[in-house]
């Protein structure tokens, strides 16, 4: 049997660790390395950066990741697929070419555009979340359709070493190389569904290897400081076996794979991507060796006619302030501090939240654990129309040092701009993906 297609996942979110991808690139024997770096809000933030500087708007860690990966890319000739293009895949391609030129490494980069539909989106279109028109959400800053395998195939056919995209459904980043390598038809929904199950298991990188899983005692994971990232050996049917590079930390187990298969899936019987509606309910996972788990058995139905569009809007500002109390009556003093803040600025900030970190901040109550913690931290957060107003929240909490309950210490204050995200649908015919090739040849003078 021919060597199966090996796809590694070198990043599961924009801020993910850098070196696990380098380990996969140098020692993973991979054919493709996928870096998934685009959360719901990331592209809206990137759009704001692009507004300030048309040469930006791609992932802020792109240069650091590419710098570290290019030498291995040259040595091992795998192909890189990533959505680090964010709001500006063309500028991202230019940045990659620039890095390659500095290193004297020949490279062909394919940038995929067409996901940005901000100019075409209908203000009257209703959101999937609240069924209200987009126009009610104030200033829209981004609208990106989720592209699928069909948008990536021409880039793979171009022979590019690096395929850089904006918004693409996460599993599609992985399914595209499978469909390309094995020649799957775009209406071969069972294979696409199996590939989607594989992509879905890989897309959060370390989360398949013990990250977001570990709990001392019942769920031990070794050497998490050196957590390895996973790869999948995918067969022509779309079934796969997962593994990680020898000597890396973490562990790939059945229990962990089950958690990741179901992660963020709102309907395990109908997981919708631009490529397929995948049924994960009959999926079989089995441990086939140490750090080896095999997946098979997903089924598919025809892909949806419409594409999901993620829309970002300016949602105002949030001001936060924190201060901590310890020892006798710590909770009572923190509560008193919160009451003082509410009395002073509650009317000015009707949308305010007061938390006791260490007691009730996460779930609003503590079930039966630790009703009397030794220390507790007051947190106040409130929404404001401007950054100046949001500042007041932290300032008021800080002023508790000399005006509040006894022993308040360690005050901190923050202001954040908020970007809200809602989604809507567009007909897939309205979205046209385009591939732009950029090249640098090390022997020639010009790119």
Partner 1 sequence: MPKLHELAHCRAGDKGNTSILSLIAYRAEDYPLLAAQVTIDAVARHLRGIVEGDIRRFELPALWALQFVCARSLSGGVTTSLALDAHGKSLSYALLEMEIPVS
Q: Contact at 8 Å (CB) between 99 and 66? A: yes
Q: Give the nearest distance from C-beta 313 to partner 1 in angstroms.
A: 9
Q: Give the nearest distance from C-beta 433 to partner 1 in angstroms.
A: 24
How far is Cα 301 from Cα 108, in angstroms, rounded to an integer? Answer: 35
Judged by beta carbon, residue 117 or residue 393, the one nearer partner 1 is 393
How far is Cα 419 from Cα 313, in angstroms, rounded to an integer? Answer: 6
Q: Give the nearest distance from C-beta 98 to partner 1 in angstroms.
A: 32
Q: Give the nearest distance from C-beta 314 to partner 1 in angstroms.
A: 11
Q: Give the nearest distance from C-beta 124 to partner 1 in angstroms.
A: 20
How far is Cα 230 from Cα 91, in angstroms, rounded to an integer? Answer: 29
Q: Give the nearest distance from C-beta 170 to partner 1 in angstroms.
A: 12
Judged by beta carbon, residue 186 or residue 357, the one nearer partner 1 is 357
What strands, in cross-sheet order, belong to the sheet with 32-35? 284-289, 292-296, 240-244, 230-234, 5-11, 32-35, 79-82, 162-165, 107-113, 434-440
How far is Cα 363 from Cα 366, in angstroms, rounded to an integer? Answer: 7
How far is Cα 416 from Cα 319, in angstroms, rounded to an integer? Answer: 7
Judged by beta carbon, residue 266 or residue 402, the one nearer partner 1 is 266
Judged by beta carbon, residue 281 or residue 386, the one nearer partner 1 is 281
The DSSP bridge partners found for residue 419 are 314
3-state secondary structure of 3: coil
Based on DSSP, count helices (H) and strands (E) in the chain, helices before strands: 11, 18
In this structure, what DSSP letter does residue 135 have? G
Judged by beta carbon, residue 192 or residue 285, the one nearer partner 1 is 285
Planar angle of CA 372, 378, 379, nearest 5 degrees: 135
C-alpha Rg value of the chain to the nearest Å: 24
Q: Around Cβ 130, how many Cβ atoms within 10 Å?
A: 10
How far is Cα 55 from Cα 49, in angstroms, rounded to an integer? Answer: 9
Q: Give the nearest distance from C-beta 27 to partner 1 in angstroms.
A: 29
Q: Give the nearest distance from C-beta 278 to partner 1 in angstroms.
A: 14
The DSSP bridge partners found for residue 271 are 278
Q: DSSP secondary structure string, 186-254?
A: TT-HHHHHHHHHHHHHHTTGGGGTTTTT-BTTTB--S-GGGBPPEEEEE-TTS-EEEEE-TT-BS---H
Judged by beta carbon, residue 186 or residue 315, the one nearer partner 1 is 315
Judged by beta carbon, residue 281 or residue 432, the one nearer partner 1 is 281
Judged by beta carbon, residue 62 or residue 382, the one nearer partner 1 is 382
The DSSP bridge partners found for residue 417 are 317
Q: Give the nearest distance from C-beta 235 to partner 1 in angstroms.
A: 21
Judged by beta carbon, residue 132 or residue 281, the one nearer partner 1 is 281
Judged by beta carbon, residue 157 or residue 264, the one nearer partner 1 is 264
Q: DSSP secondary structure string, 24-46?
A: HHHHS--SEEEE----TTHHHHH
What residue ranges bind partner 1 (CB under 8 A)?
Answer: 40-41, 129, 212-213, 215, 218-219, 255, 258-269, 281-285, 315, 318, 351-353, 355, 357, 361-365, 367-368, 379, 381-383, 418-423
Q: Give the nearest distance from C-beta 293 to partner 1 in angstroms.
A: 13
Q: Give the nearest distance from C-beta 412 to partner 1 in angstroms.
A: 13
How far is Cα 305 from Cα 276, in angstroms, rounded to an integer? Answer: 10
Q: Contact at 8 Å (CB) between 181 and 81? A: no
Judged by beta carbon, residue 74 or residue 423, the one nearer partner 1 is 423
Q: Which two tokens stand for residue 381?
A: 């957060």
């Amino acid at each position: 049997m021919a060597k199966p297609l090996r796809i590694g996942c070198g990043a599961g979110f924009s801020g993910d660790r850098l070196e696990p991808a380098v380990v996969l690139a140098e020692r993973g024997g991979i054919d493709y390395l996928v870096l998934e770096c685009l959360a719901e809000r990331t592209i809206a933030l990137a759009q704001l950066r692009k507004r300030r500087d048309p040469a930006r708007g791609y992932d802020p860690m792109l240069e650091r990741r590419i710098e570290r990966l290019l030498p291995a890319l040259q040595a091992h000739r795998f192909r890189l697929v990533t959505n680090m293009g964010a709001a500006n895949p063309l500028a991202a391609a230019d940045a990659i070419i620039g890095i390659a030129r500095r290193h004297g490494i020949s490279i062909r980069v394919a940038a995929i555009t067409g996901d940005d539909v901000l100019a075409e989106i209908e203000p009257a279109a209703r959101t999937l979340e609240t069924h209200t028109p987009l126009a009610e959400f104030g200033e829209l800053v981004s609208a990106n359709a989720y592209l699928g395998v069909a948008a990536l195939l021409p880039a793979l056919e171009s022979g590019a070493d690096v395929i850089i995209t904006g918004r693409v459904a996460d599993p599609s980043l992985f399914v595209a190389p499978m469909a390309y390598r094995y020649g799957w038809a775009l209406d071969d929904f069972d294979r696409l569904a199996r590939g989607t199950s594989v992509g879905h298991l890989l897309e959060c990188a370390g989360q398949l290897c013990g990250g977001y899983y570990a709990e001392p005692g019942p769920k031990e994971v070794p050497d998490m400081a050196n957590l390895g990232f996973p790869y999948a050996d995918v067969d022509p049917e779309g079934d796969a076996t997962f593994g990680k590079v020898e000597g890396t930390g973490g562990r790939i187990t059945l229990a962990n794979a089950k958690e990741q298969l179901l992660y963020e899936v709102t309907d395990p019987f109908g997981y919708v991507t631009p490529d397929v509606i995948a049924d994960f309910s009959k999926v079989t996972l089995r441990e086939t060796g140490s750090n080896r788990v095999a997946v098979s058995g997903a089924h598919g139905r025809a892909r949806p006619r419409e594409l999901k569009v993620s829309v970002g809007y300016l949602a105002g500002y949030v001001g936060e302030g924190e201060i901590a109390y310890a020892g006798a009556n710590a909770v009572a003093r923190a509560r008193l501090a919160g009451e003082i803040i509410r009395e002073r600025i509650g009317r000015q900030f009707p949308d305010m939240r007061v938390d006791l970190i260490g007691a009730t901040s996460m779930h609003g109550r503590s079930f039966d654990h630790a009703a009397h913690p030794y220390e507790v931290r007051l947190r106040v957060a409130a929404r404001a129309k401007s950054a100046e107003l949001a500042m007041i929240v932290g300032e008021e909490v800080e002023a508790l040092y000399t005006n509040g309950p006894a022993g308040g210490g360690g005050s901190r204050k923050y202001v954040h701009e908020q970007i809200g995200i809602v989604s809507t649908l567009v007909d897939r015919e309205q979205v046209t993906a385009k591939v732009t090739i950029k090249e640098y040849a090390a022997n020639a003078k010009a790119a």
